[in-house]
Chains A and B, each alone.
Chain A
Amino acid sequence: MEDMVIANEMNKNNLRQALLKNHTFILFIIMACVMIIGSIFVPSLMQKDNLLNVLRLASIVGLAAIGSTVVLLVGEIDLSIGSIMSLSLVTGGLMVGYGSVPALTVTCLTGIILGIVNGVFVTKLKINSLMVTLGTMSVFGGLANVATRGQSIFLYDSPLYLWLGRGYIGGIPVPVIIFLSVGIILSLLLRFTKTGKEIYFTGANKRAAWISGININKIKITAYAVSGLTAALAGPLLSSQTNRITPIQGVGFELSAIAVAVLGGTSLSGGKGTVIGTILGALTFQLLLNILTLSGVGTYMEQVLKGFLLIVIVVVYQVVDKPRG
């Protein structure tokens, strides 16, 4: 009996310890504080329309960030997310005359293929992934422009595209539904499949993973394919906000995606992070930007805050991760 009490007490202590070291938990607290303080100073924050808007925008960057998370989990990086987004949008956009469904299918397939190209370069050429994706970022981005001769493709005749970005299902914006579904599915896949487990192990220790019999090349290529797919999925949601596909739509998204993933507690050194964390990261990120916009600080302050937040949060994570003693 007494043993059980002690064990219980120990569990409680462990739980408290674990929570304090859990990035997702820390972020959750931060987000809650942001919401509370924000709603006091900026009452319009809590209005339904505003919150839905925050959710919608968070979903778009969040989707791309989920892919980024998976790549970071295997201990690599993907700087080509923005360009994959542009190029896959464009290839789909060129098909839009055949209907929205074929176009969207082509978009997704392009995303996956481009992701695989990244993965193959990283694993077969054995080049640092930062370099590979820096290169493919240029190449894919250039191809997107070449394919459309720099022109926009308008989507007024493609209601499905517009619905994806602006529609509602049961009062919830469609992007939010897509974002959460993809997030939950990937989160479950990471937890409950062999590949998911192997992604974490590979990221945590590549050599040990290899010696343990994991095909680390296959795992890395898979991660890049996922990243390509989520970037491609985020594209149409973004396009429909402006009714058009442009070949530069994704520019800069790679850095936002990485920032959100890192904000969500994903480690740059691999093997650490969760999709749920990234979802929270996207929400916190967008919420803060929204508060700043509403309080009239000006859109440019958003940039400053984005950078500041990124550095500060990573420093906080670094501090809580320091081993005791």
Chain B
Amino acid sequence: MASDTASFNGKSIISIKFIKDNMLVFILFLELIMGVILSPVFLGKSNIYSILINLTIFGLLAIGQSLVMLVKEIDLSVGAIMAFGPIAAIALSKKILAVSGTEIIVGGNYVVDGLALIVVLVLFISALIGVLNGVIRVKAQVPSLIVTLGMLYVLSGLSYILSGGYSLYLTNLEGAKWLGNTKLASIPVNFILFLTVGVLVILVLKYTKVGHRIYSTGGNEKAAIYSGINTKFWKVIAFGLSGLCAGISALVYSSRLESVETIQGSGYELISIAIAVIGGITLEGGRGKIFGTIIASAILCIMLNILSLVGLIAWYKTIIVGLIIIGAASQHAFSRRTTE
């Protein structure tokens, strides 16, 4: 009899812990239910696709941001990379291919050729900028907030200079719309890409040394150094991956819209930080999981979607996003204090 009570108590404790550990999933679930109740079109095909494309774009940025925050840094340049990556890649491709006599831009701003080279260069340039952020951070010992803020200015200025402020259209570029507009078995390829990246990062963090390096660098840099870990190197890697994620996100964005805008991605750095924080990544470093970031991306995107569906204008959305950031951050701060 006594043992029965004990086991019953044990069970109830487990279930509270279970809810606590899976809070984000529960919130997501609740949100889905609310969406269904509040709007008849919520489960409509086109609505779901529109959620998924946003989820991919923001989610990719947030994964990169999370990696940087895990090593106790911050990256304000991800949004600017989203514009600069493609713009610089196209400009560079134009120069490179002009040597072999191929003109890839016609009619002023229609890109017509060189897709493969452009894609490779977008990824390369984006990652390179991330690495540059990291190198300045660790070599010159300048706080990452300043480095990446400076980089934000530099990149957005360069984007304007290179593009002259005009959009580049990809409508006549064969294959360009594939990533953002195609579906495989009625699942958008960009969403598959996002999940692939997400799962890959989760697996790499869990099943290779990389995860241990990143978590120890952010969690207790001294312990990491005492174990012989080159924490500076891993910080640079985290910044590089963040740049790379921003590059992938830019590919999805531009492919979806079939254009490259000079201002694309502006302000997204803050959204990426918001998502990471909602997902449980903290500025103190070394805490939180990429799985949380992915769920948080979904939470944010679905919420924004529901808010539009119920007819709330964009301004209310920003207010609600702001409150969520404060709420999530204080929740984490509070739960950490109580466990200590």
- CB < 8 Å: which of B161, B274, B283, B334 contacts A298? B161
**Chain A, range 258-301, C-beta contacts under 8 Å to B:** 258-259, 262, 268-269, 298-301
Closest CB of chain B to A36's CB: distance in Å? 25
**Chain A, range 56-94, C-beta contacts under 8 Å to B:** 77
A125 interface contact, C-beta 8 A: yes
Contacts A138-B270, A139-B323, A300-B157 supplied; 8 other A-B pairs, CB < 8 Å: A125-B333, A132-B329, A134-B274, A135-B324, A258-B149, A268-B143, A307-B150, A309-B150
CA distance A131 to B330 in the complex (A): 9
Q: State how many residues of chain B have any CB contact under 8 Å with chain A.
A: 48
Closest CB of chain B to A291's CB: distance in Å? 15
Cβ–Cβ contact B142 & A131, under 8 A: no
Closest CB of chain B to A221's CB: distance in Å? 16
Q: Looking across the interface, which residue of chain A has its beta carbon closest to that of B161?
A: A300
- CB < 8 Å: which of B136, B270, B274, B330 contacts A127? B330
Cβ–Cβ contact A307 & B154, under 8 A: yes
CA distance A196 to B147 in the complex (A): 29
Chain B residues in 8 Å Cβ range of A301: 157, 161
CA distance A307 to B153 in the complex (A): 5
Chain A residues in 8 Å Cβ range of B274: 134-135, 138
Q: List 14 A-B contacts (CB under 8 A).
A: A127-B333, A131-B326, A135-B324, A145-B314, A150-B315, A258-B149, A300-B158, A306-B157, A307-B154, A307-B157, A310-B150, A311-B147, A314-B140, A315-B136
Cβ–Cβ contact A310 & B153, under 8 A: yes
Query: A131-B325, A136-B322 known; A310 and B161 CB under 8 Å?
Result: no
B244 interface contact, C-beta 8 A: no
Closest CB of chain A to B163's CB: distance in Å? 9
* Chain B window 141-169, contacts with chain A (Cβ cutoff 8 Å), 1 for yes, 0 for no: 11101110111111111101100010000
Query: A121-B326, A139-B318, A311-B146 known; A306 and B153 CB under 8 Å?
Result: yes
CA distance A259 to B146 in the complex (A): 8
**Chain A, range 96-155, C-beta contacts under 8 Å to B:** 121, 125-128, 130-132, 134-143, 145-146, 150
- CB < 8 Å: which of B136, B158, B330 contacts A304? B158
Chain A residues in 8 Å Cβ range of B284: 128
Closest CB of chain A to B280's CB: distance in Å? 13
Cβ–Cβ contact B157 & A302, under 8 A: yes
* Chain B window 317-340, contacts with chain A (Cβ cutoff 8 Å), 1 for yes, 0 for no: 111111111100110011001000
CA distance A128 to B153 in the complex (A): 24
**Chain B, range 251-284, C-beta contacts under 8 Å to A:** 270, 273-274, 277, 282-284
Query: A132-B329, A134-B274, A307-B149 known; A146 and B315 CB under 8 Å?
Result: yes
Cβ–Cβ contact A311 & B136, under 8 A: yes
A215 interface contact, C-beta 8 A: no
**Chain B, range 273-328, C-beta contacts under 8 Å to A:** 273-274, 277, 282-284, 313-326
Chain B residues in 8 Å Cβ range of A306: 150, 153-154, 157
Closest CB of chain A to B226's CB: distance in Å? 23
Cβ–Cβ contact A303 & B160, under 8 A: yes
Closest CB of chain B to A81's CB: distance in Å? 14
| Secondary structure type dominating chain B contacts | helix
CA distance A130 to B72 in the complex (A): 13
CA distance A32 to B17 in the complex (A): 63
Chain B residues in 8 Å Cβ range of A314: 140, 142-143, 146, 150
Q: Looking across the interface, which residue of chain B has its beta carbon closest to that of A148?
A: B315
A255 interface contact, C-beta 8 A: yes
- CB < 8 Å: which of A131, A137, A305, A310 contacts B329? A131
- CB < 8 Å: which of A125, A255, A299 contacts B149? A255
B74 interface contact, C-beta 8 A: yes
Chain A residues in 8 Å Cβ range of B165: 300
Cβ–Cβ contact A136 & B318, under 8 A: no
Query: A300-B157, A311-B151, A315-B140 known; A143 and B329 CB under 8 Å?
Result: no
CA distance A125 to B327 in the complex (A): 10
Chain B residues in 8 Å Cβ range of A138: 270, 274, 318-319, 321-323, 325
Query: A128-B283, A131-B277 known; A308 and B150 CB under 8 Å?
Result: yes
Cβ–Cβ contact B160 & A135, under 8 A: no
Closest CB of chain B to A72's CB: distance in Å? 11
Greatest chain A CB density within 10 A among B160, B277, B315, B322 is at B322
Closest CB of chain A to B214's CB: distance in Å? 20
Chain B residues in 8 Å Cβ range of A310: 146, 149-150, 153
Cβ–Cβ contact B319 & A146, under 8 A: yes
Closest CB of chain B to A253's CB: distance in Å? 13
Q: Looking across the interface, which residue of chain A has its beta carbon closest to that of B321?
A: A138
A205 interface contact, C-beta 8 A: no
Closest CB of chain A to B121's CB: distance in Å? 20
Q: Looking across the interface, which residue of chain B has its beta carbon closest to that of A128?
A: B283
Q: Looking across the interface, which residue of chain B has its beta carbon closest to that of A322?
A: B141
Chain A residues in 8 Å Cβ range of B273: 134
CA distance A121 to B325 in the complex (A): 12
CA distance A125 to B326 in the complex (A): 9
A318 interface contact, C-beta 8 A: yes
CA distance A142 to B322 in the complex (A): 9
Cβ–Cβ contact B283 & A130, under 8 A: yes
- CB < 8 Å: which of A125, A132, A303, A315 contacts B153? A303
Chain B residues in 8 Å Cβ range of A135: 274, 322-326, 329
